[in-house]
Structures are given as structure tokens and as C-alpha cells.
């Protein structure tokens, strides 16, 4: 099977990559739905949280933003370094093989790996807005508060909310445009997603039905059967195997 996967990568010139929280677990950032994921631990960590998803609920945030900012300290930790898989995707781009990367992740690690063609469909911490007066802030404007787990406040007194897409909020307009008309592609690679969060997951699932497709995820998903190859393996182990074949002088770090 691996030799066929290597051939797919060698032939591909226009790869669409779709990533989820599983690509960052080896960087020390927990995902949501793994056995030790955030959904199991949030209720223990924040007694007041009525249900796990409330931490990304706008109504709850307006009343009690403290859990979100405490959790954010972990997600945008400056100590987290891009994984081998993040670097692999950036390398594929440098080889001219990437049409587009869509990530559900909010941890900024694709950017830190040097990747350019990435759409963060669930938003980003790199920018933020005051909930009261809508003043724009960069991550650097509020990073002292963010990294201390404190609530950043605007000059007007309002709470500054990072531009993360909360439940009930629209995804970036560009995502809907790409959903309706994805770029031409010859391979779709999905890494580290349970494919349960819509509409993001639908973007990858639709593509997987029409072009050669590879899913790499520790646990099975409901959509494994739609992929040409569904591989249940650690992402960085998969990456190491594939990258070392594609670039024989590659030395894993």
C-alpha cells in the first residue's frame, strides 16, 4: 500500500490538504475527541462550564470569557513547534505541489512552519476585535494577556475576542467560495481530523469522492470508506515513512 501512496505523491502536482487538531497533538496541543482530548477534560478543568462546547459559545463567552482565555494559553503556546507533518506540508509547497491547505486548527502552527497557501477556516488568534467597539487588534497587541491566561480589554473597556470562529458564527467568506468551487486538484490529503465538524468536514469529504484521496487519522472516521486510502497511524510516523521515500536524503529530526 505504501508504494502506491508514494506513487500518488510523486505524480501529484496539485494537492489539497485538509488538517485537523490531530496534526498538532504531537506538538503538545490536545485535540477535542481523542480519549484524552479536551472534551473529556474541560468539565473537570472548568467547574462552571455547562457543557464542553460552551467554551467556544459566544453567549457563554460574553458572560464568562475566563475559561476560553485560560484554554487559549495552551493552544497558542509559544513553546509549541510545528510537527514533522506541518513541515512536510510546507516542504510539499516548496516543491510546487500544493494547490491549497485548509486547516480547522487555530494554533498558528501551519504559519509557523512557513506555509503560505493556507486558509484557517475556523479563524485565527493572529487577529482580534473588541466585542463592543469592533476595534482591530493583532496577536502581538494582546499576547501578554493571552499568554498569561488573562482577559484582554480594549481602550473602551470591552472584551477583545480573538478572531476564532465560535459555534453559531459564520466561517470566513473565502471558505464558502472554495467549498462551492475548489481549486483544481489531483490528490486530497486529510490529516488528523475526526471529520465531525461541519461545514469544514464536508469540504474534505466532497473532494475525497472525486479525486484520489488519503486520510491519515489514528481513529476510524465515519467517512473512511470514501477515501482511496484510510490509514490509522500516527501522523508523524506516516510522514516520516512517506517523506523519506520522496526525498531520499531526508533525515528525520
Which residues of the chain form contacts with ligand CNA (CB under 6 A)? Answer: 20-22, 24-26, 29, 31-34, 37-38, 75, 104-107, 122, 192-194, 196-197, 217-219, 234-235
CB of 189 to ligand CNA, least distance (A): 13
The smaller minimum CB distance to ligand CNA, of residues 196 and 206, is found at 196
Annotation marks residue 122 as catalytic: yes
The smaller minimum CB distance to ligand CNA, of residues 12 and 171, is found at 171
HEC letters along 41-87: HHHHHCCCCCCHHHHHEHHHHHHCCHHHHHHHHHHCCCCCCCCHHHH
CB of 169 to ligand CNA, least distance (A): 11
* From 86, 110, 111, 122, active-site residue: 122
CB of 235 to ligand CNA, least distance (A): 4
The smaller minimum CB distance to ligand CNA, of residues 80 and 154, is found at 80
Write out the catalytic residue numbers.
Answer: 122
Amino acid at each position: 500500500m505504501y508504494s502506491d501512496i508514494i506513487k500518488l505523491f510523486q505524480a501529484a502536482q496539485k494537492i489539497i490538504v485538509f488538517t485537523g487538531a490531530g496534526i498538532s497533538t504531537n506538538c503538545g496541543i490536545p485535540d477535542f475527541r481523542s480519549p484524552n482530548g479536551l472534551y473529556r477534560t474541560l468539565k473537570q478543568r472548568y467547574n462552571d462550564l455547562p457543557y464542553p462546547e460552551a467554551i467556544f459559545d459566544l453567549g457563554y463567552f460574553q458572560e464568562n470569557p475566563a475559561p476560553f482565555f485560560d484554554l487559549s494559553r495552551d493552544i497558542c503556546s509559544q513553546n509549541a513547534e510545528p510537527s514533522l507533518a506541518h513541515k512536510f506540508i510546507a516542504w510539499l509547497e516548496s516543491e510546487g505541489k500544493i494547490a491549497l491547505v485548509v486547516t480547522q486548527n487555530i494554533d498558528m502552527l501551519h504559519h509557523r512552519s512557513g506555509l503560505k497557501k493556507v486558509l484557517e477556516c475556523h479563524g485565527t488568534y493572529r487577529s482580534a476585535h473588541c466585542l463592543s467597539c469592533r476595534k482591530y487588534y493583532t496577536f502581538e497587541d494582546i499576547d501578554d494577556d493571552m499568554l498569561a491566561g488573562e482577559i484582554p480589554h480594549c481602550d473602551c473597556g470591552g472584551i477583545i475576542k480573538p478572531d476564532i470562529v465560535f459555534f453559531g458564527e459564520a466561517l470566513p467568506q473565502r471558505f464558502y467560495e472554495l467549498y462551492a468551487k475548489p481549486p483544481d486538484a489531483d490528490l486530497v490529503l486529510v490529516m488528523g481530523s475526526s471529520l465531525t465538524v461541519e461545514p469544514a468536514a464536508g469540504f474534505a469529504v466532497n473532494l475525497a469522492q472525486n479525486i484520489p484521496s488519503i486520510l491519515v487519522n489514528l481513529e476510524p472516521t465515519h467517512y473512511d470508506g470514501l477515501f482511496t486510502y484510510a490509514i490509522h497511524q500516527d501522523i508523524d510516523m506516516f510522514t516520516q515513512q512517506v517523506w523519506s521515500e520522496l526525498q531520499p536524503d531526508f533525515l528525520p529530526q
